[in-house]
């Protein structure tokens, strides 16, 4: 079963000061530093010391929930991804910089341009995690009362990604000449309008920035719904996904990779990286203690709000030590469809109370939680990696900086010793480190004439 | 007339590799480095060594013109401001970071959030140059065939600025508590929705980032039309403006500062900083040679295109050594109104041919050009500064890095010797260095209830 000559890809998923909903209360979390760039710079440099492929940032366009008590108990202040990743680009050298940017509340020209700019700034380390936005609180910050229906959001997202890709190709790689003597800065015949006219957008192009170091910044997707899987099979280069069991992860892996051939793509052109929330102890007992500590520091209102937000049902009126109320059918939920299904299944499988369920998901939020010694964590990652469930993992440290430092100092050396992970960066770009090809320029053969 | 105890404010207006339309052809320009971050980092550090108040970036959302020959002769590849300024924030310590962002093709929630993020990242050095976008080539990159009419653009801009300001105030300064023991991360009663419902936008708020170091990033404006002056008098803290003569600059200065009282503002709350394009020589002869060199390296098509774009009239069919054709009336021009009037006046005053006019404006683009020795340049800046025409200047180096290095090494020491410019940064934030007050939170007294 072992895949020789193949190494895991690893993302360092930064949520400041940690992924657990109560991370900021952890005794070792640097909670005062949430808005301190020097703290995040130190985290980035720790991740780079660990040879992670990339730093990954999630994103959202509103604060979470409005119950004043829960609002006061949770972290609702975050750096915006383009600004934070750009600031990190000049204090790191090798690590990739992956930012989540929604197709729902942005314009493709702006997004294409900013990622191209970040890719130039960082010498080829930019990646875009494409998402759609699904909460009403976000919609109300963007002139809308209701969010777009799930299918419309995906339709808009598909068109958005196509436009961005074309804009990245609107300058050929060798368009810049920069010859002072002949007064030729650029070869205008290699700069192309895209003339896109679609259902959602009209974008003429070209971009006002030359083709970037990677050609295209790496495209990441997360959606696991039918529409999300199809879009990913066609356009994604990395998938961040959430699975609890080996069997589910294997089924997803085979499903998505199997959809690629019809788009002329080979399975290696897409890296599937499930999330992993590691609770590390030097002994099993210590790991268990760490897990219990995390459960105990969750403020009740914050736990209920987290769960309510994740399933799109307000649970604040129900007894916290009672069972979950009947949940709506999947068809009625216009949110993160796959996340909802995951939690519904989990609650039913483990017969959890509201408190039990929020404790269960307060860290990993539906992703896989692995508790144990560094060897046990490495074992479980290896099992998925070698059995067709994952090409790598997106690591979600419970609290920071300790959760990341422990992973870098204790788990990564074991993966390296087993030949499962790099000991040095070998590529010059994120794309090269991930083992992804530099994309050909799709506009060269299609453009009938230059602008 | 001398204003003792008052120092000039200086911006370093970065256009890579220089402000002159043919800057990239200058023998000393590092034209190969236009997309090289290390080059721009070095420029930023030079500006910081010179104790400039801020680095200033212009912006646009399309390439300039489509005549293939002119397109090939000009620089049309630029870093996007949010990403570049953020990357510079982590390799500089004191200098302000001012980015142009249009209200025409963005959403207020996104803009408020990114500037707040940059302000946190940089420890209080962010500034927003508010502009409206006025070209059809830009409109066609954002789903529109025609740009918004001038008056509509300003109407949208006014509402946009109001929303952004309110969002910056949506967290009170002391909203963050971060007390692990009591489980209070924030005081929810100090986080406010803004509930904006206007003609152009509906934005509920609050922002998902806490109030930033400066309270509000510094607000800069450039418009010199009637609507622009009124908006600036009400909301701007810095004005970048373009004037050729002392008299014009004095009239503008008195006009705008005179409009402030009705908005409850004192004249010191707004710094007026005209653009200056300095062509420096160690002797007058050297300065004259430098000026002629810049004129001679302008490719003809690029010169005609620059001029055409600035006056919104296609001049490519006219003899380049002939006179300007009759220009349309001001009322017909839905572009940068004040820029158009400025060039029309200049051509008539100096009886210039098309070539003469593009040579005349190819560097400063309507801003004031000063040629001479370091002493002569300092003299002219001092004259405006001490005679009610300027609180400071936005310096536009003809080519880079030489044009900036000469200003820092030759002109700034003279200004410092005369007591006209700082020798060290004394403020902790851009706002403090500019002598601007930290704004009170406007939402505290208005908010009836918390979210």
Task: Report whether B74 belongs to an annotated binding site.
Answer: no
Best residue in B23, B83, B128, B191 for a mutation probing chain A (most A CBs within 10 Å): B83
Q: How much is the pTM?
A: 0.94
Chain B residues close to A118, C-beta within 8 Å: 83
Instruction: Work out the average pLDDT over A119-125.
Output: 98
First-last CA distance in chain B: 53
Shortest Cα–Cα distance, B336 to chain A (Å): 20
Among the candidates A361, A387, A409, a domain finishes at A361
All residues of chain B having their beta carbon less than 8 Å from the beta carbon of residue A309 are none
Quickly list DSSP for B201-241.
-EE----SS--BTTBSPEEEE---SHHHHHHHHHH-SEEEE
* Residue A83 marked ligand-binding: no
Q: Which pLDDT score is estimated for B339? A: 67
Task: Write out chain A residues lying below 8 Å of B110, CB-based.
Answer: 61, 105-106
Cβ contact B219:B130 at 8 Å: yes
- Contact list in B for residue A79 (CB cut-off 8 A) is 117, 120-121, 209
CB contacts < 8 A, A to B, total: 233
Confidence check: pLDDT of B1 > 50: no
| Model ipTM value | 0.94
Contacting A residues, span 207-226, partner chain B, CB-CB under 8 Å? 208-210
Q: Residue range A120-136: average pLDDT?
A: 94
- Residue A316 has a pLDDT of 87
Please indicate whether residue A342 or residue B159 has the higher confidence score (pLDDT).
Answer: B159
- Least CB-CB distance to B72: which of A142, A185, A201? A185
| Long-range pairs, B285-293, Cβ under 8 A, ≥24 | B287/B371, B287/B372, B287/B373, B287/B376, B288/B371, B290/B371, B290/B398, B291/B371, B293/B26, B293/B27
Residue A58 host element (H or E): none
Instruction: Establish if B417 touches chain A: CB-CB under 8 angstroms.
Output: no
Maximal CA-CA distance, chain B: 79
Residue A210 domain flag: yes
Residue B16 CA to its chain's centroid (Å): 15
Burial of A390: CB neighbours in 10 Å, binned 0-12, 13-18, 19+? buried
Q: Is the pLDDT of residue A335 over 60?
A: no
How confident is the model at residue A251, as a pLDDT? 96
**Residue A224 among known ligand-binding residues:** yes
Q: Quick check: B35 and A206 CB within 8 A? A: no
The confidence band for A94, taking pLDDT boundaries of 50, 70 and 90, is very high
pLDDT tens, residue by residue, B296-326:
999 998 899 888 888 778 888 899 998 888 7
Q: Do residues B357 and B378 share a domain? A: no
Beta strands in A338-389 (DSSP E): 368-372
State whether B387 and B314 are in the same domain: no
Spatial separation of the C-alpha atoms in residues A155 and A162, rounded to whole Å = 11
Nearest to A63 among B82, B118, B208 (CB): B208
Asked if residue B155 and residue B92 are part of one domain, the reply reads yes
Whether A73 and chain B come into contact, CB under 8 Å, resolves to: yes
The DSSP string of A79-145 is: --HHHHHHHHHTT-SS-EEEEEEESSSS-HHHHHHHHHHHHHHTTS-EEEEEE----HHHHTTTT-S
Indicate whether B60 belongs to any domain: yes
Please tell me whether residues A260 and A122 are part of one structural domain. Answer: yes
To test the contact with chain A by mutation, choose from B68, B86, B166, B193 the residue with the greatest count of A C-beta atoms within 10 A, namely B86
* Residues on chain B touching A143 (C-beta within 8 angstroms): 107, 201-203
Of B238, B241, B200, residue with least CA distance to B220: B238
Indicate the average pLDDT of chain A: 92
- In this prediction, residue A148 carries a pLDDT of 72
Rounded to whole angstroms, how far apart are CA atoms A14 and A403? 11
B140–A110 CB contact, under 8 Å:
no
Q: Per the CB < 8 Å rule, is B186 touching A76?
A: yes
What span, in angstroms and rounded, lies between the C-alpha atoms of A191 and A207? 9
* Per-residue CA distances from B39 to B14, B393, B401, B441 (Å): 12, 24, 9, 39
Q: Give A-chain residues touching B177 at CB under 8 angstroms.
A: 72
State the pLDDT at residue A314. Answer: 84
| Residues A114 and A208 both lie in one domain | yes
Residue matched to tokens 């004192």: B266
A150 is in an annotated binding site: yes
Same domain, yes or no, for B204 and B316? no
Query: Is B425 part of the contact surface with chain A (CB cutoff 8 Å)?
Result: no
Give tens-digit pLDDT for A143-173: 987 777 777 888 999 999 999 999 999 999 9
- For A:141-200, CB contacts with B below 8 A are 141-144, 171, 176-178, 180, 183-189, 191
Structure tokens that stand for A442 in this block? 């799709």
Read off the pLDDT of residues B340-380 as tens digits, 9 standing for 90 and up: 677 778 888 889 999 999 998 888 887 899 999 999 999 99
Given a contact cutoff of 8 angstroms between Cβ atoms, the answer to whether A111 and A126 are in contact is: no
Cα distance between residue B63 and residue A379, in whole Å: 53
Mutate to test the interface with A, among B120, B128, B203 (most CBs of A within 10 A): B120
Is residue A26 within 8 Å of residue A300, measured between CB atoms? no
Chain B hits for A60, Cβ within 8 Å: 208
| Averaged pLDDT of chain B | 92
The pLDDT of residue B5 is above 60: no
DSSP B158-180: HHHHHHHHHHHTSB-TT-EEEET
Can you give the pLDDT at residue A189? 95
Angle at A161 between CA A159 and CA A165, to 5 degrees: 120
In a domain, B286, yes or no: no
Q: Which CA distances in Å does A138 have to A65, B46, B167, B189, B259? A: 11, 42, 14, 21, 38
* Pick from A25-29, B198-202, B439-443: least confident: B439-443
Task: Tell whether A203 and A337 lie within a shared domain.
Answer: no
Residue B198 forms part of a structural domain? yes
B324 and B245 inside one domain: no
| Chain B residues inside the 8 Å CB shell of A178 | 24, 31-32, 34
pLDDT cut 70: percent of chain B above it: 94
Each residue of B380-423: pLDDT tens digit? 999 999 999 999 999 999 999 999 999 999 999 999 999 999 99
pLDDT of residue A24: 97
A84 touches chain B (CB under 8 A): yes
Q: Are residues B174 and B307 in the same domain?
A: no
Query: What number is the average pLDDT over the span A357-377?
Result: 91
Which of B314, B332, B361 delimits the end of a domain? B361
Backbone angles phi, psi at B194, to 5 degrees: -105, -20
B105 to chain A, any CB pair closer than 8 A? The answer is yes
Predicted local distance difference test score (pLDDT) of residue A246: 96
C-alpha A151/C-alpha A288 separation (Å) is: 42
Between chains, do B180 and A27 touch, taking CB under 8 Å as contact? yes
pLDDT of residue A1: 40
Between CA A246 and CA A248 the distance in angstroms is 6
d(CA B33, CA B16): 9
Q: What percent of chain A has pLDDT over 90?
A: 76
Measured CA to CA in angstroms, residue B296 lies from A303, A431, B291 at distances of: 70, 44, 9
Q: Which residues contact A109 (CB under 8 A, 6 or more apart)?
A: A163, A167, A203, A205, A207, B61, B105, B141, B142
Nearest CA in chain B to A29: B180
User: What is the predicted pLDDT for the residue at B316?
Assistant: 87
The reported pLDDT for the residue numbered A446 is 54
User: Cβ separation of B73 and A120 shorter than 8 Å?
Assistant: no
CA dist A51 and B9 (Å) reads: 44
pLDDT at A330 over 60: no
Residues ≥6 apart with Cβ < 8 Å to B184: A72, A73, B177, B178
pLDDT at B2: 42
Per-residue pLDDT band for A4 (boundaries 50, 70, 90) equals very low
- Partner-chain contact A178 B34, CB within 8 Å: yes
* Total number of domains constituting chain B: 2
Q: How confident is the model at residue A244 (pLDDT cuts 50, 70, 90)?
A: confident
- Please report the pLDDT score of residue A121 as a whole number: 98
**Contact across the interface for A87 and B86, Cβ inside 8 Å:** yes
pLDDT in tens, A428-440: 999 999 999 999 9
Assess A77–B contact: CB distance below 8 Å, yes or no.
yes
Taking the CA atoms of chain B, what radius of gyration do you get in angstroms?
A: 22
Annotated binding residue at A137?
no
Q: Is the pLDDT of residue A8 over 90?
A: yes
* H/E stretch holding A374: helix A374-386
- B287 in any annotated domain: no
* DSSP notation for B418-436: TTSS-SS---SSHHHHHT-
Residue B205's closest CA among A305, A34, A309, A61? A61
Residue where the block lists tokens 């050298």: A93
pLDDT value at position B336?
Answer: 54
Do A153 and A95 form a contact (C-beta atoms < 8 A)?
Answer: no
Q: Are B86 and B16 within one domain?
A: yes
A78 close contact with B: CB closer than 8 A: yes
Rounded Cα–Cα distance for residues A342 and A166 (Å): 35
Lowest mean pLDDT among A9-18, A288-297, B57-66: B57-66
Partner A contacted by B120 (CB < 8 A): yes
The two counts, helices (H) then strands (E), for chain A are 16, 13
Q: Which two tokens stand for residue A164?
A: 């961005």
Q: Check which CATH number belongs to the domain holding A64 and give it.
A: 3.20.20.30
CB contact under 8 A, A105 and B105: no
Distances (CA, A) of B23 to A25, A209, B102, B398: 55, 18, 25, 6
Query: Is B62 within 8 Å of A201 when comparing Cβ atoms?
Result: no
Query: With an 8 Å Cβ cutoff, are A82 and B83 in contact?
Result: yes
By CA distance, what is A111's nearest residue in B?
B80
- The answer to whether residue B13 is domain-embedded is yes
Cβ of B68 within 8 Å of Cβ of A185? The answer is no
Backbone angles phi, psi at A386, to 5 degrees: -90, 0
Does one domain contain both A271 and A308? no
Same domain, A209 and A336: no
Residue A2 is predicted with a pLDDT of: 42
Answer for the pair B384, B285: CB distance below 8 angstroms, yes or no. no
CA–CA dist B336, B60 (Å, integer): 13
On whether residue A188 sits in a domain, the answer given is no
Residue B236 lies in a domain: yes
Domain's final residue, options B338, B361, B384: B361
Chain B nearest C-alpha distance from A363 (Å): 17
Structural Rg of chain A based on CA atoms: 22
Query: What residues are paired with B97 via a beta bridge?
Result: B55, B126
Q: What's the rounded Cα separation, in Å, for the pair A14 and A44?
A: 9
Q: Which pLDDT band holds residue B149 (cuts at 50, 70, 90)?
A: confident
Report yes or no: A106 at the B interface, CB cutoff 8 Å: yes
- Mean pLDDT lowest for which of A333-337, A359-363, B427-431, B441-445? A333-337
Residue A154, marked binder: yes
Domain enclosing residue B182, as ranges: 9-281+367-434
What number of other Cβ atoms are within 10 A of residue A288's Cβ? 14
CA-closest candidate to residue B429, choices B51, B5, B64, B96: B96
């Amino acid at each position: 079963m072992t895949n020789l000559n193949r190494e895991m890809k690893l993302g360092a998923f930064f949520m400041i000061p940690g992924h657990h909903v109560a991370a900021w209360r952890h005794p070792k979390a640097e909670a005062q530093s949430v808005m301190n760039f020097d703290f995040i710079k130190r985290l980035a440099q720790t991740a780079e010391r660990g040879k992670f492929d990339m730093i990954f940032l999630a994103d959202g366009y509103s604060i979470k929930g409005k119950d004043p008590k829960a609002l006061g108990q949770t972290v609702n202040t975050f750096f915006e991804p383009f600004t934070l990743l750009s600031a990190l680009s000049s204090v790191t050298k090798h690590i990739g910089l992956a930012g989540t940017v929604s197709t729902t509340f942005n314009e493709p020209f702006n997004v294409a341009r900013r990622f191209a700019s970040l890719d130039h700034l960082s010498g080829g380390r930019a990646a875009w995690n494409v998402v759609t936005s699904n909460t009403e609180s976000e919609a109300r910050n963007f002139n809308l009362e209701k969010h777009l229906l799930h299918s419309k959001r995906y339709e808009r997202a598909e068109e958005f990604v196509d436009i961005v890709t074309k804009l990245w190709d609107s300058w050929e790689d060798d368009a810049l000449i920069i010859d002072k003597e002949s007064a030729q800065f650029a070869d205008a015949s290699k700069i192309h309008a895209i003339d896109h006219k679609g259902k959602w957008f009209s974008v003429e192009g070209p971009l006002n920035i030359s083709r970037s170091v990677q050609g295209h910044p790496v495209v990441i997707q997360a959606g696991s719904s039918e529409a999300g899987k199809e879009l990913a099979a066609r356009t994604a280069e990395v998938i961040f996904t959430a699975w609890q069991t080996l069997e589910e992860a294997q089924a997803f892996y085979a499903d998505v990779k199997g959809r690629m051939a019809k788009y002329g793509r080979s399975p290696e052109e897409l890296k599937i990286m499930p999330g992993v929330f590691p609770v590390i102890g030097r002994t099993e007992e210590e790991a268990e203690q760490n897990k219990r500590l995390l459960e105990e520091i969750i403020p009740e209102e914050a736990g209920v709000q987290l769960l309510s937000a994740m399933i799109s049902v307000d649970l604040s009126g129900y007894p916290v030590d009672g069972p979950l109320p009947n949940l709506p059918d999947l068809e009625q939920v216009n949110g993160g469809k796959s996340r909802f299904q995951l939690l519904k299944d989990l609650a039913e499988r483990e017969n959890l109370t509201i408190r039990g369920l929020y404790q269960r998901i307060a860290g990993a939020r539906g992703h896989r939680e692995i508790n144990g010694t560094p060897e046990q964590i490495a074992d479980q990652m290896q099992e998925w990696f070698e059995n067709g469930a994952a090409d790598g993992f997106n690591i979600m440290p419970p609290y920071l900086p300790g959760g990341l430092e422990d992973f870098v100092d204790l788990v990564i050396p074991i993966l390296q010793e087993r030949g499962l992970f790099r000991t040095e960066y070998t590529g010059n770009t994120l794309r090269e480190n991930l083992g992804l090809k530099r994309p050909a320029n799709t506009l060269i053969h299609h453009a009938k004439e230059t602008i």
